[in-house]
A and B are shown apart, each in its own frame.
Chain A
Amino acid sequence: MKFNESLSGEKKEEVEQRTALSGVPPLEVHDLTVSYHRRPVLWDIDFATPEGKLIAIVGPNGAGKSTLIKGIMGLVPLASGYVKIYGEDLERARSRVGYVPQRNSVDWDFPTSVLDVVMMGRYGRIGLFRRPRDSDRDVAMEALRQVGIVDLAKRQISQLSGGQQQRVFIARALAQDADLYLMDEPFVGVDAATEGAIIELLREMRRRGKTVIVVHHDLGTVREYFDWVLLLNLRLVAFGPLDEVFTDTLLQQTYGGRLNLLTKVAELMKEQERGRDLQ
């Protein structure tokens, strides 16, 4: 009995060392409400994420998925509620959290190179008024190597394909060297090869104990890519491990009205067709 206990204790320690888990939730969101022009777009969101997981935020268009991430990052004002990153306020934990905005949120005609954009991930660490150092450049090049576009380092960013643009954004987040990552729709408009490369990278990050939260639109790949799921539609519908949360009943609740409406339209069209056939 005693022997077993100590053994399992040892094993646990080993696991903790391997993945550098700290035991504190990477992200806690408490009673978070966001409103635009007094209309709530996120209502009383409350959850805490486990460590070292790939987590999908799933919900219909306009459910507030991007807004949730922006609220967590302090990019939109919160009507109420607060956020903790590894148990600390965002201001103190900034270096531990990396944000990947939507690819189309920037102007890709901006006069700059791929390496320059990736270097921007280092700006928070470089500090005000200082210039990037060689070591920052090395980190940026290593990030480019990890996403497989090191040969594009000097390329002007307007010459990139959609998939390459997304890889640049991911590399920039890697260069930040954070522990928690929030990514807004990284799989939108990218080619299959890039999608595969990104998901491989996310798995590698998970192996190193990183926590990655991804706004995801493709219900078809959730089961394959993610460990945990957050179902969102203005309110938090459910949050938990894939098998418990990604169920037909809960999905129906999340997409509720819309799925029902579509079914009704389909039925009506069938009836019309039947009517035409009878005539």
Chain B
Amino acid sequence: MDAFWIILTGTLAGASCALIGSFLVLRKMSMLGDAISHAVLPGIVIAFLLTGSRSSIPMLLGAAGFGLLTAFLVETLHRKGRLQQDASIGVTFTWLFAIGVILISRYAGMVDLDQDCVLYGEIAYITFDMVSIAGVQVPSAVLTLAGIFLLNIIFVLVGYKELKITAFDPSLAVSLGISATFWHYALMGMVSLTTVGAFWSVGAILVVAMLIAPSVTAWLLTDRLHQMLIYGVLLSLVSAVGGYYLASFLDGSIAGAMAVVSGILFAFALFFSPTHGILSRRIRMRRMMGRAERGEEDLSSVQNI
């Protein structure tokens, strides 16, 4: 039964991350997702200290607050402080994450939270914390993550059109009266919530792999946004299952193995994707050059292949 719950946890965390991470990738904001996933730490710890419990609602709120603060600080340092985008990300999230680390180490004796759990997650131990739902014992992490996954699905369905246009062409969106700023912060809020959920299972470092890797792999496999989202979710499932069995075979870290599997899937897609893979592109290019030499093909569109 443990295996089932662990795989389900990994899948729900990964699928939530893939849905929201796809939009980060399309906006070329992968590193902002990285930053937020770390910078929510003080929010979690403060919620923890204030309520003294590991109940998820205050933690989600604390994390969302610090996630939005991160997005705001990065933007402000970049715009007003004239700092480069990557530099302002680097300054902001390390600073906030460090505050979180100090808080944990200072109050480590009082709370059930330690650095290891924050950095590497505790997916192997999720079954230690069970709650009863209609007579069935369910890990509380699974419940939280299922809620987050549902929230992500609703968010993407409701705001699909707006998320799409603000990612593709923000200036057109603004000219049509669709606020790029609002959707930016809405997305960052969702990234914050999602990363907290994934935090418990895989930790602050590997959550980035869940946000980015399935999304870019899915992008390599399709030309349509809705397919990219669905593929991202499916790839997360494959990573969770594959990762669990790889970890038990190697007797190693489950979270680490899940991230490794999604990296391997990415490498496969990079080479063998029928549409964007390096191999298929090379084959197509060669065919086209052949046709062009025989004078059958107009080469004006070759640059786009």
Give me the interface of A with B, judged by CB distance under 8 Å: 37, 70, 73-75, 91, 94, 97-99, 101, 105-108, 110-113, 117, 120-121, 123-124, 126, 128-132, 156, 158-161, 172, 176, 191
Contact = CB atoms under 8 A, between A and B. Distances in A.
B222 A111 contact: yes
Contacts of A94: 175-177
Contacts of B28: 107
A105 B165 CA distance: 13
B168 A75 contact: no
A243 B174 CA distance: 36
Is the contact region of chain B dominated by helix, strand, or loop, or is it mixed? Answer: helix
B223 A113 contact: yes
Interface stretch (B5-13, B30-38, B111-119, B156-164): B156-164
B165 A120 contact: yes
B304 A160 contact: yes
Given A37-B82, A73-B174, A129-B158, A111 B223 contact: yes
B169 A159 contact: no
Contact of A111 (B158, B176, B224, B301): B224
Interface of B: 26, 28, 82, 158-159, 161-162, 164-165, 167-169, 171-178, 219, 222-225, 227-228, 300-301, 304-305
22 contacts: A70-B171, A91-B177, A94-B176, A99-B175, A101-B171, A101-B172, A105-B171, A111-B224, A111-B225, A111-B228, A112-B223, A120-B168, A120-B172, A123-B173, A124-B177, A128-B178, A129-B158, A131-B161, A158-B304, A159-B301, A160-B304, A191-B300
A22 B76 CA distance: 43
A123 B222 CA distance: 24
Nearest to A176: B176
A74 B174 contact: yes
Given A112-B224, A159-B301, A161-B304, A75 B174 contact: yes
Contacts of B301: 159-161
Contacts of B164: 112, 120
B176 to A, nearest CB: 3
Contacts of A130: 161
A156 B223 contact: yes
A101 B170 CA distance: 10
Given A106-B169, A160-B304, A161-B301, 18 more contacts: A70-B171, A74-B174, A75-B171, A99-B175, A105-B171, A107-B168, A110-B26, A111-B228, A113-B223, A120-B169, A126-B161, A131-B161, A158-B304, A159-B301, A159-B305, A161-B300, A172-B172, A191-B300
A149 B161 CA distance: 24
A112 B168 contact: yes
Contacts of A191: 300
Contacts of A108: 304
B178 A124 contact: yes
A190 B172 CA distance: 21
Contacts of A101: 169, 171-172
A99 B223 CA distance: 26
Contacts of B227: 111
Contacts of B174: 73-75
A99 B162 contact: no
Nearest to A164: B301
Interface hub of A112, A132, A172, A191 (most chain B Cβ within 10 A): A112
A136 to B, nearest CB: 11
A123 B161 contact: yes
A258 to B, nearest CB: 28
Nearest to A155: B223
Interface hub of A97, A113, A132, A161 (most chain B Cβ within 10 A): A161
Interface hub of B167, B176, B300 (most chain A Cβ within 10 A): B176
Nearest to B302: A161
A97 B175 CA distance: 8
Contacts of B172: 99, 101, 120, 172
Contacts of A75: 171, 174-175
